[in-house]
Amino acid sequence: MRYLHFGSEWVQGAMRIARPWNLELEYTREMMASLLLRQDANWPRKVLLIGLGAASLTKFLYRHYPLAHLTVVEIEPAVVAAARQFFKLPEDPKRVNIVIGDGVEYVLNSTRKFDLVLVDGYDENASSGALDTLPFYQGCRGRLNGGGIMSVNLLTSSRRFEGSITRIAKAFDDRVLAFPSCESGNAIALAADGEAVTIPFHDLRENALELHKETGLNLMPAIARLEQSQSCPGGILKL
C-alpha cells in the first residue's frame, strides 16, 4: 500500500500498488454510491472532481467509464505532481482535464455543466475551509445538469456533520441523504437536482450487484449500513 499525506497524520489517499485502479479507502467507495442512483448505462458522461488527492476516484472512473470526461480541480500543484509520480494518474488530456486552481472559485465562476460532482478537498489539518459553505454548495448545484448528483466527503475531528448537512440541504431544497459515518470518521452526503430519485432497497441492491459485476466495487456493506440507519422510511431511498 502507498499512502498520501500532507505532512500530517491524516491520510489523504491510498493506492494498492498491485491494483492501482481499486478504491482502497472505505469513504472513496461510498462516494461512488452516486453511481447507483441513475438508471442510465451512459451516466455519468461529464464529471467534476474537487480535490485530487491520490487520484483514486479519478482512476476508478477513468478505467470503468470510458465515455466519461473528467475535470479535476486541485489547488496544490505538488499534489498533482505526486499523483503523477507515485499514484499513476492517467496522462490523457482528451479525457482528464487537470485544473490547478481553487475549487470554490471554479464552481462559482464556471458555466460548464456536469452529471456528477465529487467533492473531496482537505488540507493538512483535515479542514475543508470554504468547500463546506452554503455559497459553494449552491454553486455546485448550479454546475449540475438536470438529474445531476453531488457526492461530498465530510470529515471532522468531532465526527459531527449536522452543520454541513444543513448547508447542503438548504442549497438543494432538502434533497440530501447522509450515509452513517464509517470507521475512519468520514461520512458521505449525496444531493440531487432535477429528476427525483426514488429507489426501493431491493432495486438498490440489484444495482449494486450489477456495479460489482462490472467494476469489482462492492457497495453492499454501505447499503446495509444505510438500511440499518433507518434514514429511508419504507425501505425506499428518496432524494
Predicted confidence (pLDDT) per residue in 60-82, tens digit: 999 999 999 999 999 999 999 99
Report whether pLDDT(185) > 80. Answer: no
At 100, which helix (H) or strand (E)?
A: strand 96-100
Say how many Å lie between the first and final Cα of the chain, rounded: 36
Q: pLDDT tens for residues 78-109?
A: 999 999 999 999 999 999 999 999 999 999 99
Q: Are 196 and 209 in contact (CB under 8 A)?
A: no
pLDDT score for 9:
66
pLDDT score for 122:
67
pLDDT score for 46:
98
pLDDT score for 204:
95
pLDDT score for 127:
64
Which of 102, 115, 120, 193 does the annotation list as catalytic?
Answer: 120
Report whether pLDDT(27) > 60. Answer: yes
Report whether pLDDT(210) > 90. Answer: yes
The Cα–Cα gap between 195 and 147 comes to: 5
pLDDT confidence bin for 20, thresholds 50/70/90: confident
**Catalytic residue check, 132:** no
pLDDT score for 8:
65
Beta bridge partners of 177: 190
Provide the H-helix boundaries in the chain: 26-31, 56-64, 77-86, 103-109, 134-142, 162-171, 201-215, 220-228
Report whether pLDDT(7) > 90. Answer: no
| pTM score of the predicted model | 0.93
Q: Which single residue is written with the C-alpha cell 499512502?
A: 3
The Cα–Cα gap between 7 and 197 comes to: 40
Report whether pLDDT(192) > 90. Answer: yes
CA angle 2, 46, 151 (to 5 degrees): 60
Segment 46-54 shows an average pLDDT of 95
Report whether pLDDT(12) > 80. Answer: no
Domains of the chain are 2-196 (3.40.50.150)
120 Cβ contact partners less than 8 Å away, ≥ 6 residues apart: 28, 31, 49, 50, 51, 53, 57, 152, 153
CA angle 110, 123, 107 (to 5 degrees): 10
Sheet of strand 96-100: strand arrangement? 96-100, 69-74, 46-50, 114-119, 144-154, 187-192, 176-178
Per-position DSSP letters for 153-207, written without gaps between them: EE--TT---HHHHHHHHHHTTT-EEEPPP-TTS-EEEEEE-SSPPEEEHHHHHHH
pLDDT score for 18:
86
Report whether pLDDT(157) > 60. Answer: no
Q: pLDDT tens for residues 110-138?
A: 999 999 999 997 655 556 778 999 999 99
pLDDT score for 90:
94
Report whether pLDDT(41) > 80. Answer: no
Percent of the chain with pLDDT over 70: 92
pLDDT score for 42:
84
Q: Which single residue is written with the C-alpha cell 426501493?
A: 200
